[in-house]
Amino acid sequence: MSVRRTWRRLALPFACVAALAATSLSAQASGQLTLYTTREPGLVQPLLAAFTAQTNIQVQTVFVKDGLLERVKAEGERSPADLLMTVDVGNLLDLVEGGVTQPVRSAALESAVPAQLRGAGGEWFALSMRARVLYADKSLPLTGFRYAQLADPRYKGKVCIRSGQHPYNTALVAAMIAHEGEAKTEAWLRGVKANLARKAAGGDRDVARDILGGICDVGLANSYYVGQMKTAKPGSDARKWGDAIQVIRPTFANGGTHVNISGAALARHAPNRDNAVRLMEFLVSEPAQAMYAQANFEYPVRKGVPIDPDTAAAIGSITPDTLPLAQVALHRKQASALIDKVRFDQ
C-alpha cells in the first residue's frame, strides 16, 4: 500500500488523536527516542506523528529491512535503539533470545494486550494481528473450513500456497504441531503437498491470481492482502484477483484461527527507556489501535476496537487461536525441519 493511500485512510483517526492532544497539553512530555523497525516506514509514520502530536516526543525512525538482530548486537551498549519493531512472533523471540531486549512492566500494556499475544515476562508485546485465512474460488459452496481439510484428497491438484519455509507458513505448521503433535502434522503436510496444483512458491497474492487463472481452487494466505486487493484501483490486476475470491476463516480442530503479529520489544540498552515505553503504551491505546486497523487491514489486539470497514466487508471478524504465540514459536525449528523432511517446496 502506498504512503499516500495510508495517510488518506488514517486521516480521520489521526485528526481524533490530534484533537485529543490539543486538550491534553498538561500531560505532554518532551524528548526523543529512536525506533528500529522492519515495517515499511509509510505504515508506521502516521502513528508516530500522532504520538508526537500528543506527547511532544520526537521519534527518529531507522528502517532496517534485514539483519535487525545482527545490527543491534553489533552496536552493543552504544546502540541508539530504544524500541525494536518487527513482524512475526518468531522474529520477536529471536530478539529476546539474542539478548538485545529488556522486559517491561506496564499496567497499560498488560491490560490492552491479551496474555497469549505477549511475552509472559513482558519481553515483547503484539501491536496488531493478521490471520492465516483460506482464499477460495467464489463458486465453491464453503461456509466453514478447518486447516486439516487442506490435506483432504478431494482437493488433489487444487491447492496453491507459497513456500512452506516462508515464516508465514512455518508459523502455521508450528501451531499445527502445538495442537496436534509432530506425527499428525507430518501426515497433514504430506497430504497438502499431494494436493498442490503447482510448486509451493510465489507470494500470498499469487494464490488469488492463480485461483482467477483456474490453476487452483483454494489456498492459504494472509488476511490483510485481501483488503489490499479488494480496494485496489478498479480494473487493475490486483483488483481482479481480489474480486475472484471468497475468504474463509479456517480454524484448528480444537481452537480458533491462526494469527501472527506485528509487535515491539524494548531495546536492552535503550537510552530513552521511559519514552520508548510511553510509545508502546500509546500504540495499544484505543485511538492508535483504530489507526493500526486501518493502516494495513490488520486486526487490533485491543478488545473493543472496531476493525476496518473494508476488512469487515472482505473477511469479517476473527476468533484468534487462544494458544499462546510463545508456545507456538517453540516449535519453529521443528516445523522447518518437518517441511524439509516431506520435501514440501520441491
Q: Is the pLDDT reported for residue 13 higher than 90?
A: no
Helix (H, G, I), strand (E, B) or coil at 333: helix
- Kindly tell me if the per-residue pLDDT of 104 is higher than 80: yes
Average pLDDT of the chain to the nearest whole number: 90
Residue among 8, 3, 6, 16 nearest 305 (CA): 16
| Residue 345: how many other CB atoms lie within 10 Å | 17
- Supply the pTM of this predicted model: 0.86
Q: Does 3-129+259-308 match 131-257+317-341 in CATH topology? A: yes
Express each pLDDT in 38-52 by its tens digit: 988 788 899 999 999
Chain Cα centroid distance, residue 95: 17
Q: Give the tens place of pLDDT for each residue, 128-180.
A: 999 999 999 999 999 889 999 999 999 999 999 999 999 999 999 999 999 99
Distance, CA of 225 to CA of 227 (rounded, Å): 5
Q: Where are the domains of the chain?
A: 3-129+259-308, 131-257+317-341
Instruction: Give me the CATH code for the 131-257+317-341 domain, please.
Output: 3.40.190.10
Question: Does the pLDDT of residue 16 top 70, yes or no?
Answer: no
In angstroms, how far apart are the furthest CA atoms of the chain?
A: 64
User: 3-129+259-308 has which CATH code?
Assistant: 3.40.190.10
Confidence of residue 312 (pLDDT cuts 50, 70, 90): confident
Query: What is the enclosing helix (H) or strand (E) of 254?
Result: none
Eight-state DSSP code of residue 320: B
